[in-house]
Amino acid sequence: MARRRQAVTIKHVAADAGVSLQTVSRVINNEANVSPEMKLRVQASIDKLGYVPSIAAQRMSGSRSYLILAINDRDRTIADWRARLGADWVDQMLLGGMLKCAEHGYRLVFELVDTHSDHVERALLGAIAALQPDGIILTPPHSDNPQIVRFLGGQNIPFVRIGSKQNGVGISLSMDDEGAARAACRHLFDLGHRRIGFIAGSSEYELSQWRIDGWKAAMSEFGVSCEGLLEQGDFSYDSGEMAARRLLQRAERPSAIIASNDQMALATLEVAREQGLKVPKDLSLISFDNTPIVRFTQPPLTAIDQPIAETASLAVELIIAAKKGESASSPLSTIRAPLVERGSVCAPADRFGG
């Protein structure tokens, strides 16, 4: 029987190079207090032995753990996974975060935390104690949860708050929800729509209000009233269905609707069909999120593309920079969300949006 090849460890590299374990770790971590000659010497041993650095080896310098902890909402994430609704928030977050981590020799660890739990601080403390992360990424609605933000503010760990525009504790990172809603509304105005309805998301998320603000700002720019055109949802299909019915059953129904996420947009599409309205001939429809499912509806939905991967990637960069002691260039970083045009939008038949 062939002998199993022994795995190469940091100890083998140190012995081959004739240096300490800490010196090898400093080279692996690209720290400044190592001479160029020593770097070449250690790197030659790494190449010769085919050594692949582990997190344990990287941690030996004592200054970093090379782990970044990303936290998402437990109930909503599990509900989406079980329902298999086609939402890809987690996939995109892992895509952007993991690739950026890999560039810097880091690992991304994904945890689910119950926002509504009385033991949320205990859960966070347990994760921090076990992993000792170099930084934490908070996603909505955790980003603006006062209890979570206040707790992390006292942990001496850099953390990024995705979907937050608040200054103060943590690093705020916005996906420009207000600007994206304004752009969607302007796109409809340019086509001739004037009665543009809006279905808002859950008030638990601050970004829901920012999207309303963007829609209202665009309506104001064109001197158009918002009266009777705003309905509240909670990001679920059922809430979108009820909101769409209220909008489309009005005597002066909207000629276009912007829905705050894809599930509510899909519900609106179905309600329009039930009422004999053709999209986009009788009703134009724009969604937020741009998850994969909206490409396969009939017609495919025009949507604001949430740049989740790019945002997670930037969050990792901001944490690594903060860990190095580098301050952010501005208190708020923003990534623009583009409008992806498909077949659910056209000019209203009468060009006045009635």
User: Which is more confidently placed, 70 or 7?
Assistant: 70
pLDDT digits (tens, 9 = 90+) for 239-265: 999 999 999 999 899 999 999 999 999
pLDDT band at 209; cut points 50, 70, 90: very high
User: Which is more confidently placed, 24 or 284?
Assistant: 284
CA distance 192 to 215: 16
pLDDT band at 3; cut points 50, 70, 90: very low
| For range 33-40, the mean pLDDT | 85
CA distance 10 to 27: 11
| For range 12-26, the mean pLDDT | 85
Check residue 42 and give its pLDDT. 87
CA distance 261 to 243: 13
Angle formed at CA 284 by CA 278 and CA 289, multiple of 5 degrees? 120
Is residue 336 scored above 70 in pLDDT?
A: yes
